[in-house]
Amino acid sequence: MLKQRLISAILMLIIFVGCFFFLPNPFFEVVVLTITAILFFELRGLLVLSSGQSVIYWLISLSCLLPALIFRDDLLSFSTFFVLLACFFWVVLAPLNMMKGTNSPPQRNLFHCLYGLVVIAPMTYSVLILYSQNKSFLLFVFITIWMADIGAYFTGKRFGSIKIAASISPGKSMEGALGGIFFNVLLVLLVKLNFAEFYLVNGLIFCITISALSIYGDLYESLLKRLAGVKDSSNLIPGHGGFLDRVDGFLPALPAALIFHQYLSLTV
């Protein structure tokens, strides 16, 4: 299983590098919007909808991608409300729902249907905005989230004993979460050693926040899967599940990163 995960991860990294660094901007945007459409498609399976409801929900979800095309030159102004709405979801609504745990009602209620509209779409807007404004910063965000995921996985495997929420995700531990954050503290120190203009305090605040949010997003998607009675959002990526399983940490982290980018610089 680990070998399969590594092979898939290497292939995804190669594809990411090719798209991120070598595709012209319009083509990169097409890739992002296509992945978003797949995320909406996978989410339908976690909402326990009928086939007819599922198609309608997917079409409504896809309509959320139209602003990325219509307001392409001023997406930041348009998306501000939706990014703040996503932050409200993660700060207020998601914790309330997680407190219910697996005792929540079935997924076919309005709250869970809104998950895709107020969480996935703002993440996509954030990627497109940051890509057009500051590719280096966006790459740093990606690396931060990946480091948190890698650190949490291996630290949790080796030292994990205190479960964060055993009824939601038995595999996630406090030690793993702290390991993910610790990996990013090391990342910040490494960057500071190589770039004198990097602002250490802001970098630590940023990386710790993004690490915690990415772990939080992973945990929340685990709740959705637990309620839907499935292990993965799909089987499109061997060893990893679906695309939603790979970007769950990005969902809360990227809107926060966009706000961070607008108001708090990483350089002095």
pLDDT of residue 183: 94
Query: Taking Cα atoms as reference points, which of 119, 98, 108, 110 lies closest to residue 45?
Result: 108
> Cβ(184)–Cβ(210) under 8 Å?
yes
Q: Enumerate residues 6+ apart whose C-beta is below 8 A from 156.
A: 171, 172, 173, 175, 176, 177, 179
Question: What are residue 173's DSSP bridge partners?
Answer: 163
Note the pLDDT tens digit of each residue in 158-171: 887 888 877 788 78
Per-residue confidence (pLDDT) for residue 258, from 0 to 100: 94
pLDDT tens readout for residues 199-258: 999 999 999 999 999 999 999 888 888 888 888 888 888 877 889 999 999 999 999 999
Who contacts 105 (Cβ-Cβ below 8 Å, separation ≥6)?
Answer: none
Interval 74-88 mean pLDDT: 86
Average pLDDT score, the chain: 86
State the alpha helices, DSSP H only, in the chain.
Answer: 2-22, 25-44, 51-63, 66-70, 75-88, 94-100, 110-115, 121-133, 135-159, 174-194, 200-228, 243-247, 250-263
Provide the whole-model pTM.
Answer: 0.91
CB within 8 A of 59, min separation 6: which ones?
A: none
Residue-level pLDDT at 140: 94
User: What is the mean pLDDT of the segment spanning 172-185?
Assistant: 91
Dihedral sign (CA 153, 156, 162, 163):
positive
Express each pLDDT in 91-147 by its tens digit: 888 888 888 766 655 544 556 777 778 899 999 999 999 999 999 999 999 999 999
For residue 105, give the DSSP letter.
P
In the structure, what pLDDT confidence band is assigned to residue 65 with cuts at 50, 70 and 90? confident
Q: What is the pLDDT of residue 253?
A: 95
Question: Residue 260 and residue 60: Cα distance in Å, rounded?
Answer: 30
Nearest-angstrom CA–CA distance, 115 and 6:
30
**Which of 35 and 65 is assigned the larger pLDDT?**
35
Question: In the prediction, which pLDDT does 241 show?
Answer: 83
Is the model's pLDDT at 268 over the cut of 80? no
Would you state the pLDDT for residue 188? 93
Distance CA 112, CA 115 (A): 5
Contact 64, 117 (CB under 8 A): yes
The pLDDT-based confidence of 32 (bands split at 50, 70, 90) is very high
First to last CA, the chain: 44
**Angle between the 25-44 and 121-133 helix axes, to the nearest 10 degrees?**
170
